[in-house]
Amino acid sequence: MHKEVQIDGETLTIEDVVAVAYGRAKVCVPEKVKARVGRSRQILEKIMEKGEIIYGVNTGFGALSSIVIPKDEIKQLQKNLIRSHAAGVGKPLETEVVRAAMLLRANTLAKGYSGVRLEVLETLVEMLNKGLHPIIPAKGSVGASGDLAPLSHMVLVVTGEGTAEYKGKIMDGKEAMEKAGIKPVQLDFKEGIALNNGTQIMTAIAALNVHKAENLIKVAEIAAALTMEALLGVSDALDEKIHRVRPHAGQVATAKNIKKLIEGSQLIQTGKEAITSLGRLHDAYSLRCTPQVLGAARDALAYARKVVETEINSATDNPLVFPDEGVCLSGGNFHGQPISLAMDLLGMALAVVGNLSERRIARLLDEKLNNGLPAFLVPPSAEKGLHSGLMTAQYTAAALASENKVLAHPACVDSIPTSANFEDFVSMGTTAAQKAAQILENTEYIIAIELLCAAQAIDLRGPEKLGKGTRKAYTAIRNVVPMLREDKVLSEDVERIKRVMYTLLRPEQPSQPRRQQAS
């Protein structure tokens, strides 16, 4: 994990965001960035000295932009902007999301197009490094002009107002800044709008979604491999020759991964062997088409990663100062449509991953389809009927898969006008990102349930027959959850597997997000 992340507005990665959000890596501002930010401010000051009318700097906002604000009131304008736009509601965003958003906002300022004083950037960074986190209500953004409401709640604390969390306690923003030894910013012209115009909330959620989703796909491949062995699956569908002639990158990677996981298995058969032993040449689609389905999800996530990594290194506030040309221009880079589309795609991809896993779970538990295993994987030592085994685990998976289908309805196609129809087409990007995060969590539970069922089935087949990769995964599961020998509460086992399943990949996975609690 990174110990230090430098922000220059150009090279931040999703892994950097994860390191700061989860790993509390220190954030540093290079000297070249400080010079760039200073120059941008100087140019803006020169433009202001000429008496030019600049949107949001010496005018009202949105539908009030035709009103010119007197010079002696433009500082109050910025303070009023933040106060009036801090209109979010609902539960607070998770601490990790807040940290990611603060980092992304700082990285945007570091590009040198926002026209703020250096102290604004340095204050955000100092808050991050000292673990001072604004409390930001999760609801209230329509995704244009970016994340106005949630970012305004962030900025309140920067100015010594609002509510913050510091050292595990929630308190007044002013008190938190004092305890942390950070001097609040007194907003000057342009600085309020430079801080609350932008896509940093939706992009913060999106970056963390992409990171975890990419790892979840790998866990889903492990679950599929275990299930394939438990169901005496046919290996022909994994043959490299099949995927070479339909060379989607994700499909090729998934087939290769599963084939490697089951290497050495005594449970997997070829088509010729299966026709003799089981009377069939190939498996049901939920097994046979796993490379095609999970591979398509992989490709969707690759697109989402590309969009998110472009966005985290973009200037998304408005207006923008261009020092080389000596101009300040108003545009629409705050519009969240790229993130909105990417997150809806990610959400749909993960819903498909969950759907496929649920179908494999159902097959594992159905004695008509599981090639000789007992109904609901009730062990032979337990009386069938008296014991229900893993029957209801599939109910939960089905409920989550169904919920995902509802959540997968795209937010990006929706729009509702704001600001008296001045802002008449919005992105709903934050809604898309938040929906995708919920789909992701639901799918984590579905995969955990599949791992639980597959491990139980493997116990009944004989774990010593597993492949090299799947044996390691099975052992890791059994280290936290024992074989089911009689009916018990299943939710605890599912939670345990969910907590450890990313360690099937590597031990340095970030922990689950911690929700802020009132002191």
Asked whether residue 69 falls in the same domain as residue 88, the answer is yes
**Cα distance between residue 114 and residue 328, in whole Å:** 9
Enter the tokens of residue 192.
């309020």
Q: Is residue 511 part of a domain?
A: no
pLDDT level of residue 519 (50, 70, 90 thresholds) = very low
Antiparallel, parallel or unpaired: β 137-139 and 163-166: unpaired
Asked whether residue 29 falls in the same domain as residue 66, the answer is yes
pLDDT level of residue 134 (50, 70, 90 thresholds) = very high
Asked whether residue 188 falls in the same domain as residue 218, the answer is no
Asked whether residue 28 falls in the same domain as residue 122, the answer is yes
**Cα distance between residue 519 and residue 516, in whole Å:** 9
- The reply to whether omega before 65 is within 30° of 0 (cis) is no
437 vs 517: which has the higher pLDDT: 437
179-188, 381-390, 501-510: segment of lowest average pLDDT: 501-510
Domain count, the chain: 2
Q: Provide the sign of the torsion angle of the four alpha carbons 484, 490, 492, 498, taken in this order.
A: positive
Cα 239 to Cα 243, 249, 276, 289, 296: the distances in Å are 7, 15, 20, 12, 18
Range of the domain at 359: 209-315+332-504
Dump pLDDT digits (tens) for 168-181. Answer: 999 999 999 999 99
Q: Is residue 72 part of a domain?
A: yes
- In sequence order, the β-bridge partners of residue 333 are none
Asked whether residue 289 falls in the same domain as residue 227, the answer is yes
pLDDT at residue 3 greater than cutoff 90: no
pLDDT level of residue 61 (50, 70, 90 thresholds) = confident
- In sequence order, the β-bridge partners of residue 26 are 4
Distance from the Cα of residue 509 to its chain's centroid: 14
Average pLDDT over residues 474-484: 97
Percent of the chain surpassing pLDDT 90: 88
pLDDT at residue 514 greater than cutoff 50: no
Q: Is residue 512 part of a domain?
A: no
Asked whether residue 192 falls in the same domain as residue 246, the answer is no
Average pLDDT over residues 440-454: 98
Cα 448 to Cα 22, 408, 439: the distances in Å are 22, 20, 14
Average pLDDT over residues 81-102: 97
Q: Is residue 476 part of a domain?
A: yes
The residue behind tokens 């790892």 is: 215
Q: What are phi and psi of 86, to 5 degrees?
A: -80, 70
Asked whether residue 144 falls in the same domain as residue 281, the answer is no
Q: Provide the sign of the torsion angle of the four alpha carbons 384, 389, 392, 398, taken in this order.
A: negative
Dump pLDDT digits (tens) for 277-299. Answer: 888 889 999 999 999 999 999 99
Residue 48's CATH number: 1.10.275.10
Q: Is residue 513 part of a domain?
A: no
Last residue of a domain, one of 198, 229, 264: 198
pLDDT of residue 470: 97
pLDDT of residue 507: 41
Average pLDDT over residues 356-365: 98
Spatial contact of 142 and 44, defined as CB atoms under 8 Å apart: no
Q: Provide the sign of the torsion angle of the four alpha carbons 109, 111, 117, 120, taken in this order.
A: positive
Asked whether residue 191 falls in the same domain as residue 227, the answer is no
Average pLDDT over residues 456-479: 97
pLDDT at residue 511 greater than cutoff 70: no
Question: What HEC string does 303-319 produce?
Answer: HHHHHHHHHCCCCCCCC
Known catalytic membership, residue 303? no
Asked whether residue 192 falls in the same domain as residue 260, the answer is no
Last residue of a domain, one of 198, 231, 263: 198
Which residue among 22, 55, 113, 502 is the active-site one?
Answer: 55
Q: Report which of 440, 485, 504 is spatially closest to residue 224, judged by C-alpha positions.
A: 504
Q: Is residue 106 part of a domain?
A: yes
pLDDT level of residue 241 (50, 70, 90 thresholds) = very high
Spatial contact of 295 and 252, defined as CB atoms under 8 Å apart: yes
Dump pLDDT digits (tens) for 392-410. Answer: 999 999 999 999 999 999 9
pLDDT at residue 509 greater than cutoff 60: no
pLDDT at residue 517 greater than cutoff 80: no
60-74, 93-107, 157-171: segment of lowest average pLDDT: 60-74
146 contacts: CB under 8 Å, gap ≥ 6: 196, 197, 198, 199, 200, 316, 317, 334, 335, 336
Last residue of a domain, one of 171, 198, 225: 198
Average pLDDT over residues 257-280: 93
pLDDT of residue 512: 41
| HSE toward the beta carbon, residue 83, CA cutoff 13 A | 10
Average pLDDT in the chain: 94
Q: Is residue 74 part of a domain?
A: yes
Q: Is residue 428 part of a domain?
A: yes
Strands of 169-172's sheet in order across: 132-134, 163-166, 169-172
Asked whether residue 374 falls in the same domain as residue 290, the answer is yes
Average pLDDT over residues 3-17: 96
Asked whether residue 219 falls in the same domain as residue 136, the answer is no
pLDDT of residue 1: 55
Asked whether residue 128 falls in the same domain as residue 174, the answer is yes
Residue 494's CATH number: 1.20.200.10
pLDDT at residue 508 greater than cutoff 60: no
